[in-house]
Amino acid sequence: MSSTPLPPSFYRRDALIVAPELLGKRLASRAVTLEITEVEAYPPGDSAAHSRHGRTPRNAPMWGPPGHAYVYLCYGVHRMLNIVTNDDGEPGAVLIRACRPIRGLDVVRERRGGIAPGPPLLDGPGKVGQALGLDLALSGAPLFERGPLTCLDGPRPGGTSCGPRVGIGYANAADVRAPWRFAIADCAWVSHRRSLGAPR
DNA sequence: AACACGATGGACT
DNA sequence: GTCCATCGTGTTA
């Protein structure tokens, strides 16, 4: 089965639509390929999104054309990968929260400190960034064509579960509660399993 | 120039 | 459950 890059049109929809559809898709860098197992949607108007205080040099990719990366540094340590969604000019993104290794397990383990193969390798957005060797310079780069990082088609998962997003206590109560975090149902390669609801 | 604050992860009680 | 490293970014002055 040969994986092809997802076309720009795939991303040109609302973050809430694109997010669950990204489950099972793949992120391919030179050294590794990861299956996306858990994501969070940050649609336009979301009080938890980086777009909430307007456009700045850092978050500008969120307003740019869909299908590009938005990478930012969190807590001075972790590089987080988002995929830009929605129409050009409308800020939307999907945060990649967890993955399962498909290719380059040895490289992933090395970048993650040599820990055992298993979910702890990739169950968190910072860990995914570390495994991909993400650099802030990648922010704004396209993911729909061959390059440092490409998002490829992949098998559709059997089911999806959802729950509230993680680490957004500063947002409005309604947005904190919104079930905008999606994961592959019954998948071990996810983070914060407790707050993920039953499969739908 | 100074400051406050993270869409976290790992170590620890 | 608690604590906190670490630094880019946005805000204020």
Mean pLDDT of A11-24: 98
Average pLDDT of the segment spanning A136-142: 97
Whole-number distance in Å between A143 CA and C6 C1': 29
Q: Domain boundaries in chain A? A: 8-195
pLDDT at A199 over 70: no
Query: What is the pLDDT at residue A18?
Result: 98
**Residue A192 — left, alpha, or beta (φ > 0 → left; ψ -120 to 50 → alpha)?**
left
Neighbours of A157 (CB within 10 A): 20
Q: Which residue is nearest to nucleotide B5 (CA to C1')?
A: A75
Nearest to A20 by CA among A168, A171, A163, A177: A163
Structure confidence at residue A137 as a pLDDT band (50, 70, 90) = very high
Flag whether pLDDT at A198 surpasses 90: no
A125 CA to B7 C1' distance (Å): 9
Compute the average pLDDT of residues A62-89. 97
Angle at A185 (CA atoms; ends A21, A122), nearest 5 degrees: 80
| Phi and psi, residue A195, nearest 5° | -90, 10
The pLDDT of A141-155, averaged and rounded, is 97
CB A171 within 7 Å, strand B:
no
Lowest mean pLDDT among A1-15, A40-54, A178-192: A1-15
Residue A75 CA to nucleotide B5 C1', Å?
Answer: 9
Decide if pLDDT at A200 tops 80.
Answer: no
Q: What does the pLDDT average to over A100-110?
A: 97
Q: What is the CATH T-level fold of the domain A8-195, as seen in this structure?
A: 3-methyladenine DNA Glycosylase; Chain A (3.10.300)
